[in-house]
A and B are shown apart, each in its own frame.
Chain A
């Protein structure tokens, strides 16, 4: 990381320039006194691999929940593909299936099989009768099997989820999200409890899927090193505020927010914070 050079305010080459996520001056709170997030501004381009880094309780998971409509902001505006994320809004409801969301706990149904968990991603495309009787069309089953192969779980489709290892469970959660045919993938600390090798396998998998499907991946991390390794851009959240937004281009760190810090300073600042 010492090799990283600082280039200030240099634009990052991106796949597309359309903004898929826009947040301006967003604040939200769990109770009337304490803000979970304060004045967040984010602008994320389509196809970006975006990382949000911060310590526990910094508000990074809340940020993801605001993006998929599970939480509503108390102030500011949020637009996801130009639609306000609100589960009660018809327009947003129609596009919810395009947002894949993997919570930290993964949210898998442990008593059913791997393939059944993955097929849940196809539910918004099923008719009432089909879903009531679990009649998944053949092409959806084939698609699920294709994704199963992609996440390297072929042959384990009929295993119950509770029988899988931590890494395998994450693969199932990714597969379910990919089954949605999403344009955005939100993942909350998906590799935080994994060993180094498995964490990289999972991150590689997401990076591959992201390129193949032209996804916008927004991933919450605890580990700055890992975030910088994979993401085009990294936002650092501290106590509900975005204190930094940096990007990586090759071996270089690019500062997008303050423009007056060197790479070493940024890393030191983060390391100091994480030691506290």
Chain B
């Protein structure tokens, strides 16, 4: 409903948008003027060089493996940390420092972690894997502890009134009750990590991004296009697979019904 209060809020948001755009030089006219430049790049990109497809697939495979290791290890480390960070399971003396630690980890984007690890372990995919692990810990732990905090308090209360230990409560109530959320987050994270592993090559941390950035640097858009196309196809496939998994395990358990897929 449009109430005077809502109008004021919308007005403030528009005002902030204008001020912020001015501050960061966001100029729509420049954008329109720049469109022909994009056309040139697109035109060059259309000169796809198919002989690079095997290399691109191989690089993509490396990227997927990096994302896979990073996601699984990151997720496994994040899970116990998020159990400690959940407010409904711990006193504030436990969750507050753990949350602070996780917030610190989350402050750095994956590209900064990648630079750090390239310095530590040298150029190559391993630095990328470490960056993905750190990023996954910071990012997914927040999703996890928020999911844990939203689980129904009734099963928790009912089971804790039996006199079970906290670890039993986590094992038998918290994990099963949040399982569908956790699985959903794992899939999302994997999907997300594939896309971001693709750009970690920018700083020399391996994967398909290494090729893309180098071809772009040397204005070989046709070659870069092959690699970008492979990324696109992979992301679409992964997305399709996660939809299938979601239908089978997640939606069903959340709504308590069978989902029929074609």
Q: Are B173 and A128 in contact (CB under 8 A)?
A: no
Number of interface residues of A (CB under 8 A): 34
Most buried by A among B162, B180, B253, B256: B162
Which B228-262 residues have a C-beta within 8 angstroms of A? Answer: 253, 256
Residue-by-residue, is B141-183 near A (CB-CB < 8 Å gives 1, otherwise 0)?
0000000000010111111111111011001110011011000
The segment from A38-46, A99-107, A138-146, A253-261 found at the interface with B is A99-107
A97–B177 Cα gap in the complex (Å)?
22
Task: Tally A-B pairs: CB < 8 A.
Answer: 78
Question: Once bound together, how far apart are the Cα atoms of A108 and B159, in whole Å?
Answer: 9
Kindly state whether residue A211 has any CB partner on chain B within 8 Å: no
**Would B162 and A124 count as touching, CB distance under 8 A?**
yes
Residues from chain A with a CB closer than 8 A to the CB of B167 are 128, 131-132
> Contacts A105-B154, A162-B253 given: A132-B171 contact, CB under 8 Å?
yes
- Neighbouring B residues of A123 by C-beta, 8 Å: 159, 162, 164, 168, 172
Question: Which residue of A69, A103, A126 contacts B158 across the interface (Cβ within 8 Å)?
Answer: A103
Measured CA separation A120–B177 after assembly (Å): 14
Using an 8 Å CB-CB cutoff, how does the interface string of A131-156 with B read, 1 for contact, 0 for none? 11010000000000000000000000
Q: Are B253 and A107 in contact (CB under 8 A)?
A: no
- Asked whether A107 lies within 8 Å of B159 as measured between CB atoms, the reply is yes
Q: Does A131 lie within 8 Å of B162, measured CB to CB?
A: no
Quick check: A96 and B163 within 8 Å, CB to CB?
A: yes
Q: Is A160 part of the contact surface with B, judged by Cβ < 8 Å?
A: yes
Using A108-B155, A109-B155, A162-B253 as known contacts, say yes or no to A120 and B162 having CB atoms under 8 A apart: yes
Point out the residues of chain B lying under 8 angstroms from A94, CB to CB.
Answer: 163
Expressed in whole angstroms, the minimum distance between the Cβ of B164 and any Cβ of chain A is: 5
Q: Is the CB of B158 within 8 A of A101?
A: yes
Chain B interface extent, by class: 20 to 34
Which B residues from 116 to 133 make CB contacts under 8 A with A?
none
Residue A93 is within 8 A (CB to CB) of chain B in the complex: yes
Contacts of A163 in B (CB 8 A): 256
Q: Are A131 and B157 in contact (CB under 8 A)?
A: no
Are A69 and B176 within 8 A (Cβ)?
no
A69 CA / B163 CA spacing, docked (Å): 10
Choose from A97, A110, A132 the contact partner of B163 (Cβ within 8 Å): A97
Is A180 located at the chain interface by the 8 A CB criterion? yes
Other-chain residue from A70, A87, A107, A109 in contact with B172 (beta carbon distance below 8 A): A109
Residue from A68, A106, A128 within 8 A of B161 (CB atoms): A68
Residues of A within 8 A of B168 (CB): 123, 126, 131
Chain B 173-213 interface 0/1 with A at a Cβ cutoff of 8 Å (1 = within): 10011011000000000000000000000000000000000
Docked complex Cα distance between A121 and B163 (Å):
10
| Residue A16 interfacial (CB < 8 Å) | no
Determine the distance from Cα of A95 to Cα of B163 in the docked complex, in whole angstroms: 8
- Do A111 and B158 touch across chains, with their CB atoms under 8 A apart? no
Q: How far is the CB of A220 from chain B (nearest CB, A)?
A: 15
Q: List 12 A-B contacts (CB under 8 A).
A: A97-B163, A106-B158, A107-B156, A107-B157, A109-B155, A109-B159, A109-B173, A124-B164, A128-B165, A132-B167, A134-B171, A162-B253
